[in-house]
Amino acid sequence: MKTCIFSAAFVGVLLCTSCCHTVARSSIPSLATYETMSLEELNRVASDPLAKHADKAAAVFALFKGHIKPGDNLSQVRQVLRNTAWVDEAKLYYFFIIGGYIPVDMNSEDRTYSLHLVADNEGYSEWVIYFQLAGRSEWGKSGEDGLAFLRGNVGSGGASRIKEFTLCYPDGRIERFNPKGRTETNIK
């Protein structure tokens, strides 16, 4: 998996192609099914090399939505994301310069990412998770640190915590999870 650094010029294009793209609801698996599965089942589906891409992505979304909370530290996230083979099929983008609308808090004290699940060769996915990690990384290590965090490893700036995250579904629905609670938006 490779990481990319985005500047403000690409932020608007990335957001519109990733978070605002709509598809027919029939291509989205029944998310209610995934939300009732155990951690073990979700981790198995997310990392199953034979599972459909949409099923893998739905399982990862259910792991975040049902089991990760803003403020969770590295060890708490690692207890949820037990098998992270799915990370190798994703594309992680680190926002070095933030401008425009990103559906998580924007500040210069923390690291902001977008994670494109089961991305194609160009890095595109209909399933995107935006997330922010507390603190900074050593210069040039932010992308590597984002991957390390997802895999349960300490990054260059030490152990971190997830400040907030946003799930962007293929049908245009956006769910934002921050310390104040959960909000939902529909973009059609």
> In angstroms, rounded to a whole number, what is the distance separating the alpha carbons of residues 43 and 55?
11
> In angstroms, rounded to a whole number, what is the distance separating the alpha carbons of residues 140 and 11?
19
- Do β-strands 173-178 and 162-168 pair in parallel, antiparallel, or remain unpaired? antiparallel
Instruction: Output the pLDDT for position 180.
Output: 86
Instruction: Output the pLDDT for position 42.
Output: 96
Instruction: Output the pLDDT for position 142.
Output: 85
Give the residue from 126, 148, 153 showing the smallest Cα distance to 56.
Answer: 126
Instruction: Output the pLDDT for position 187.
Output: 59
Q: How confident is the model at residue 13 (pLDDT cuts 50, 70, 90)?
A: very low
Give the residue from 80, 83, 101, 86 showing the smallest Cα distance to 55.
Answer: 86
Q: Is the pLDDT reported for residue 37 higher than 50?
A: yes
Q: Is the pLDDT reported for residue 11 higher than 70?
A: no
Instruction: Output the pLDDT for position 96.
Output: 76
Q: Can you give the residue ranges of every domain in the chain?
A: 3-186
The DSSP letter of residue 171 is T
How confident is the prediction for the chain on average, in pLDDT? 81
Question: Token digits for 79?
Answer: 């207890």
Q: Is the pLDDT reported for residue 150 higher than 80?
A: yes
Considering all CA atoms of the chain, what is the largest pairwise distance in Å, rounded to the nearest integer?
A: 44
Element (H, E) at 65: helix 53-67
* pLDDT tens track for 75-133: 999 999 999 999 999 999 988 766 666 778 778 788 888 999 998 888 889 999 999 99
pTM, two decimals, is: 0.81
